[in-house]
């Protein structure tokens, strides 16, 4: 096994266990309520990756199976965002921003030939972009609804002036859209200087050329930025139009 690869063995297991303990202890010590959640998340990640690692070998052999697997990832992402944003039935519309962000990115990278139309290439790029769009949708939706609730008086004041429902809501929630895009913007600005993200490290660990690693990471970062920008824009628009809402009692 090459020196540039992660060594699978007892050392890796011990390292993972130690890191989970660190995350859990930090959550319990700080009383921030994430100690148990960190352990559960780590266990779920271990089981899910073990299952996916075995399934994906069969999936990537056939394009139709790859397409079904990507659709499954999308469905889980939409369901996760819906749960994070609201308990209202309107949460199902969280699928729209994710789809709006992912579809053009995948279309561009496949049509340009920068990513070959093969299962082994499509699954990871689709997973990364869907995951980014999911996170952006969840953050934008939660923040927009929080803003609308917290500044309900301003929203009603705008309505009283004859401004439309959509525009009144936008006056209140538009700043939250910029906030939701801070993480991907910072990650893109500082790549190579502060962080070496997953795609870059993954290619290097797989004994790839540094130029290939840089190209792969650049494609991923800019693709993510595009997908998340569209997802956030769509999410905020859905909130402003009342298509994505929360059952709350407005403040008076």
Buried/exposed 197-225: b ≥16 CB within 10 Å, e otherwise: bebbeebbeeeeeeeebbbbbebbbebbb
Condensed to tens digits (0 to 9), the pLDDT of residues 124-173 reads 889 989 999 999 999 999 999 988 888 888 888 988 888 898 998 898 88
Q: pTM (2 decimals)?
A: 0.78
Condensed to tens digits (0 to 9), the pLDDT of residues 200-223 reads 555 555 555 666 666 777 788 889
Residue 233 DSSP class: H
Query: Nearest 5°: phi and psi at 184?
Result: -65, -35
């Amino acid at each position: 096994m090459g020196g540039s690869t992660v060594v699978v063995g007892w050392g890796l297991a011990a390292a993972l266990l130690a890191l989970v303990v660190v995350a859990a202890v930090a959550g319990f010590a700080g009383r921030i309520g994430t100690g148990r959640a960190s352990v559960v998340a780590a266990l779920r990640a271990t089981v899910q990756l073990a299952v996916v690692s075995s399934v994906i070998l069969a999936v990537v052999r056939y394009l139709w199976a790859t397409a079904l697997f990507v659709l499954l990832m999308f469905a889980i992402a939409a369901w996760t965002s819906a749960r994070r944003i609201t308990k209202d039935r309107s949460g199902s519309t969280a699928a729209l921003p994710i789809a709006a962000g992912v579809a053009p990115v995948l279309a561009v990278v496949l049509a340009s030939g920068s990513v070959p139309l093969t299962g082994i290439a499509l699954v990871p790029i689709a997973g990364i972009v869907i995951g980014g769009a999911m996170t952006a949708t969840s953050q934008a939706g939660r923040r927009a609804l929080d803003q609308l609730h917290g500044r309900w008086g301003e929203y009603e004041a705008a309505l009283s002036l004859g401004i439309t429902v959509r525009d009144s809501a936008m006056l209140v929630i538009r700043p939250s859209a910029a906030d939701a895009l801070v993480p991907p913007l910072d990650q893109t600005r500082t790549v190579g200087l502060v962080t070496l993200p997953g795609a870059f490290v993954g290619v290097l660990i797989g004994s790839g050329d540094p130029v290939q690693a840089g190209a792969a990471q650049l494609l991923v970062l800019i693709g993510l930025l595009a997908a998340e920008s569209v997802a956030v824009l769509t999410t905020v628009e859905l909130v402003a139009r009342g298509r994505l809402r929360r059952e709350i009692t407005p403040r008076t």
